[in-house]
């Protein structure tokens, strides 16, 4: 008897609404008009059969009666959750509480093969990229091409004020001809990211399916003007199609806030390339991360508890990034060799503490591991803390303390940015001086010096410098990922 609940990735006690949502999500991804790989049509028909039975109360009851006893779901991950407080005090004042969630592969990730890549490089070929930047980009693209496995798919798109497909989506064949096409890239024109992103998304979409890691890497050294909204709409479409976007900003002229949001909507990340010689290292590191994926996607569908607000969410690793607070929250992939870690900050109002337990968040983790023989079920996730009348004395776990400490440094520069926007230059400068003091205490003297220079720059020029702003932002962000190297 087929396991219809496993096909729809829902538990046996799923509500009719859960079943309906799971079916429409699966049908959107697996419809035969979009998937032509062997086995896709049969799998889609299985999804339809599952929905026809489980959506009908009479058929579902008969089906449930014939099922063998449930042994418990075989979860695809090991999950660990830590809280900054063991309990919440019943109080008339709002309270903050932090949660650190870790999702790691099963004990033997080698038992699950890495999925093939469907990777597109979108390269800024504008005149400002001319010279060493473009030479290194072309050399690195060729290195990636040579490292591809037979099952991997690779494409290259170049853009300025128009876009051109340099390499259509291909597998690793006729290397000499493909390398020659990359080497022939020439610089011209200005920077219009929408042109490149639209073409790259179309090229990636030709082979996007559930059995690949579908990802776009965008490299640019300039700002795009007037098409930001359209780019963000494309990113939303990419996320809905299971395509991630990551950005590498080269130099200091590009818009980091825009690139952060563009990548964040898909669970991707943005990186700052301060020196041309770092282009190759960071691009190859990103390629290797994608190549060693255990779970292609991890999405959190959630609803905060009554009287609780999720104020902040940050992915600590594998690649540090600020996460959008909308549901579903796209947490990104789970690597094979280290866990996915996410830190969340909740503001708990007094009305949330009237019962014995305060519900911080109620949700489900949807984990996409296409190489498993049966799709994994959703993982129920309820975050809660007991409510007490006496404040607990237990210290927070060491991992929480370290994460919050690093997050505090990152948020100091965020606060300084906000104050510059509001015209409060004295407070912004003071926050950067405080940041520098903390950085010196941690031995980060070079980054501390940058913060002090920016504090002075703000007083004299009423703004951040473009380079200093990025060095501080991405330097403090790197501190959130243990072991992550920073050259800033």
Q: What is the pLDDT of residues 35-50, one digit of tens each?
A: 545 555 677 788 889 8
Q: What is the mean pLDDT of residues 240-260?
A: 92
pLDDT at 244 over 60: yes
Domains in the chain: ranges and CATH = 4-66 (1.10.287.110), 77-111+301-388 (2.60.40.1510), 117-291 (3.40.50.410), 398-478 (1.20.120)
Residue 358 has pLDDT above 60, yes or no: yes
Q: How far is CA 69 from CA 1, 50, 467, in A?
A: 13, 19, 61
Q: Give the mean model confidence (pLDDT) for residues 314-328.
A: 92
CA–CA distance, 485 with 274 (Å, rounded to integer): 13
Do the beta carbons of residue 472 and residue 413 sit within 8 Å? yes
* Strongest mean pLDDT among 31-35, 150-154, 182-186, 410-414: 410-414
Packing angle between helix 445-461 and helix 425-441, nearest 10 degrees?
A: 170
* Cα gap 48→24, rounded to integer Å: 10
pLDDT above 90: residue 204: yes
- 277-286 average pLDDT score: 90
Q: What is the pLDDT of residue 110?
A: 65
The pLDDT, as a whole number, for residue 30 is 66
* 345 bridge partner residues: 98, 312
Position 395 scores a pLDDT of 87
298, 365 contact by CB (below 8 A)? yes
Is pLDDT of 487 > 70?
A: no
Q: Which residues are bridge partners to 297 per DSSP?
A: 368
Indicate whether 163 pLDDT > 90.
Answer: yes
Q: Is the pLDDT of residue 170 over 80?
A: no
Is residue 28 pLDDT above 80, yes or no? no
pLDDT tier, 75 (very low <50, low <70, confident <90, very high otherwise): low
SS3 at position 278: helix
The closest alpha carbon to 313, from 322, 304, 326, belongs to 322
**What is the rounded CA–CA span in Å between residue 138 and residue 181?**
10
Lowest-confidence region among 163-172, 213-222, 297-306, 432-441: 163-172
Q: Bigger pLDDT: 369 or 97?
A: 97
Say how far apart CA 479 and CA 401 lie, in whole Å.
13
Between strands 117-124 and 153-159, the pairing is: parallel
- Looking up tokens 């509480």 gives 97
Model confidence at 211: pLDDT above 90: no
Mean pLDDT of 352-357: 91
Outline where DSSP puts E strands in 144-266. Answer: 153-159, 163-170, 213-220, 244-250
Q: Using 50, 70 and 90 to split pLDDT, how confident is the model at 67?
A: confident
* DSSP codes, 434-469: HHHHHHHHTT-HHHHHHHHHHHHHHHHHSS--HHHH
Closest CA to 199 of 296, 123, 266, 260: 123
What are the distances in angstroms from CA 244 to CA 100, 129, 212, 290, 383?
A: 24, 24, 11, 10, 27
pLDDT at 172: 61
Query: What SS3 class is residue 100?
Result: strand
pLDDT of residue 40: 58
Spatial separation of the C-alpha atoms in residues 217 and 318, rounded to whole Å: 16
Q: For residue 111, what pLDDT is reported?
A: 65
- Residue 391's pLDDT is what? 76
Mean pLDDT of 359-371: 89
Residue 373: is its pLDDT beyond 80?
Answer: no
Q: Alpha helix locations (H) across 94-165?
A: 132-147
Residue 4: predicted pLDDT: 86
* Mean pLDDT (the chain, rounded): 88
Q: What percent of the chain has pLDDT over 90?
A: 55
Under 8 Å between Cβ of 7 and 50 = yes
pLDDT at residue 31 greater than cutoff 80: no
Q: How confident is the model at residue 107 (pLDDT cuts 50, 70, 90)?
A: low
Higher pLDDT, 130 or 488: 130
Best CA proximity match to 95, nearest among 398, 323, 351, 304: 351
The rounded distance, in Å, linking the Cα atoms of 112 and 116 is 12
pLDDT at 45: 83
Q: Which two tokens stand for residue 249?
A: 């900003």
- Whole-number Å distance between alpha carbons of 36 and 338: 33
Residue 131 CB coordination number (10 Å)? 11
pLDDT of residue 488: 55
* Position 292 confidence tier, pLDDT thresholds 50, 70, 90: confident
Q: Residue 234's pLDDT is what? A: 96
Question: Who wins on pLDDT, 393 or 354?
Answer: 354
What single DSSP character describes residue 153?
A: E
Is the model's pLDDT at 73 over the cut of 80?
no
CA distance 263 to 276: 22
The whole-model pTM stands at 0.81
Residues 235 and 265 sit within 8 Å (Cβ to Cβ): yes
């Amino acid at each position: 008897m087929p396991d219809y609940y496993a096909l729809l990735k829902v538990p046996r006690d799923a509500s009719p609404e859960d079943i309906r949502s799971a079916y429409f999500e699966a049908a959107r991804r697996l419809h035969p008009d979009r998937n032509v790989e062997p086995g896709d049509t049969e799998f889609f028909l299985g999804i339809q059969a599952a929905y026809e039975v489980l959506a009908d109360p009479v058929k579902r009851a008969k089906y449930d009666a014939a099922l063998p006893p449930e042994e418990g779901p075989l979860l695809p991950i090991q999950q660990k959750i830590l809280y900054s407080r063991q309990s919440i005090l019943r109080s008339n004042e709002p309270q903050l509480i932090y949660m650190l969630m870790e999702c790691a592969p099963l004990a033997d990730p080698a038992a699950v093969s890495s999925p093939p890549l469907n990777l597109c490089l979108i390269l800024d070929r504008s005149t400002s990229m001319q010279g060493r930047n473009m030479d290194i980009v072309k050399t690195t693209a060729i290195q990636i091409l040579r490292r591809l496995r037979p099952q991997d798919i690779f494409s290259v798109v170049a853009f300025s004020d128009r876009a051109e497909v340099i390499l259509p989506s291909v597998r690793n064949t006729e290397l000499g001809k493909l390398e020659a096409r990359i080497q022939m890239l020439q610089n011209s024109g200005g920077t219009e990211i929408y042109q490149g992103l639209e073409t790259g998304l179309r090229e990636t979409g030709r082979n996007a399916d559930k059995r690949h890691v579908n990802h776009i890497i965008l490299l640019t050294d300039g700002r795009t003007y007037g098409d930001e909204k359209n780019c963000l709409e494309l990113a939303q479409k990419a996320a809905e199609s299971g395509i991630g976007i990551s950005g590498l900003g080269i130099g200091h002229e590009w818009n980091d806030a825009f690139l952060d949001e563009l990548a964040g909507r898909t669970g991707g990340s943005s990186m700052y390339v301060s020196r041309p010689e770092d282009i190759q290292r960071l691009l190859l590191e990103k390629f290797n991360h994608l190549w060693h994926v255990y779970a292609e996607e991890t999405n959190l569908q959630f609803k905060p508890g009554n009287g609780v607000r999720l104020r902040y969410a940050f992915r600590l690793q594998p690649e540090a990034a600020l996460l959008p607070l909308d549901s579903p929250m796209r947490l990104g992939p789970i690597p094979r060799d280290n866990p996915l870690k996410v830190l969340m900050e909740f503001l708990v109002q007094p009305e949330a503490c009237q019962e014995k337990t305060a519900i911080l968040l109620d949700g489900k983790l949807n984990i996409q591991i296409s190489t498993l023989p049966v799709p994994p079920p959703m993982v129920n996730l309820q975050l809660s803390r007991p409510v007490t009348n006496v404040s607990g004395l237990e210290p927070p776990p060491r991992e929480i303390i370290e994460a919050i400490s690093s997050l505090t440094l990152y948020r100091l520069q965020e606060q300084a940015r906000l104050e510059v926007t509001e015209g409060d230059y004295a407070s912004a400068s003071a926050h950067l001086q405080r940041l520098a003091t903390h950085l010196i205490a941690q031995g980060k003297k070079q980054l501390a010096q940058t913060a002090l220079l920016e504090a002075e720059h703000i007083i004299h020029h009423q703004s951040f410098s473009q380079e200093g702003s990025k060095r501080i932002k991405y330097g403090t962000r790197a501190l959130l990922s243990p072991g992550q190297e920073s050259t800033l």
